[in-house]
Amino acid sequence: MKIILHGYTGKMGQIVQEVCAENDEYEIAAMIAFDSQKEADHCYSSFEECNEEADLVIDFSSRAATEALLAFCVKRNLPLVLCTTGQTEEEKQMIKDASKNIPVFFSANFSLGVAVLASLARQAAAMFPDADIEILEKHHNRKADAPSGTALLLADEIKEVRTDAVYAAPRGNRKRQKNEIGISSLRMGNEVGTHEIYINTGSECLTLTHQAYSRAVFAEGALKAAEYLLTKEPGLYNMKDMVAEI
């Protein structure tokens, strides 16, 4: 599988390179980053410079590149694994529009464990319809967005069975509303990523937790998503779709 890696200078981009170097099934045909120092012939600082043939694009960059990235993939008819979060509603609509022309795999988190956590959270929320639900997410002190895309993904899963739910992120100086899902964020040290879901009935509390020990889990998940995407028609796909076919 030949890959164009967008955002190769970032931490996750570097980890994707390391994982690919250890697996003969993956070949990085070209790498793009706006801050590229063009360390090799196949490194570029813009989409316009890149003419290499590839099977798809994997993106670990920033939401600021969303529009240009989608335009490049649609123009080249390249499937896209989009691993960047924090998009505006307008940018999310751009992603949906692009998926009418190419396969797009878009997820806030590429860990299989988080996909299982989301499924468990949805089931538990349905089992305890009157319980208070709070989500706590922890990440390193360099993370730009809060709450995390994964915390919002988990809240969205819960909202599927609690359709009247509203998000409180943060709650502020007021009492808790009956139908809200509280989302709290911690930013500290080198925390890779921890997500905790509390489902409290008043007489008991169920706590669901996922903790990532290495960022390699996200790179491995993105590559699995890439393999999955190569078999798909244009459309918008996510971890739930892939897990359902395992």
User: What DSSP assignment string belongs to 190-232?
Assistant: T---EEEEEEE-SS-EEEEEEE-S-THHHHHHHHHHHHHHTT-
pLDDT at 37: 75
33-92 pLDDT, tens digit per residue, is 988 777 778 999 999 999 999 999 999 999 999 999 999 999 999 999 999 988 999 999
Residue ranges of domains in the chain:
2-110+215-244, 112-211
| Topology given in CATH for the domain delimited by 112-211 | Dihydrodipicolinate Reductase; domain 2 (3.30.360)
Distance CA 111, CA 218 (A): 6
Q: Which of 138, 139, 195, 210 is catalytic?
A: 139
CATH number of 2-110+215-244: 3.40.50.720
Q: Is 6 annotated in the active site?
A: no
Q: Which of 143, 159, 224, 240 is catalytic?
A: 143
pLDDT at 31: 96
pLDDT at 116: 93
Name the strand (E) or helix (H) holding 95: helix 89-98
Q: Is 143 annotated in the active site?
A: yes
Distance CA 61, CA 32 (A): 10
Q: Which ranges of the chain have pLDDT less than 70?
A: none
pLDDT at 186: 97
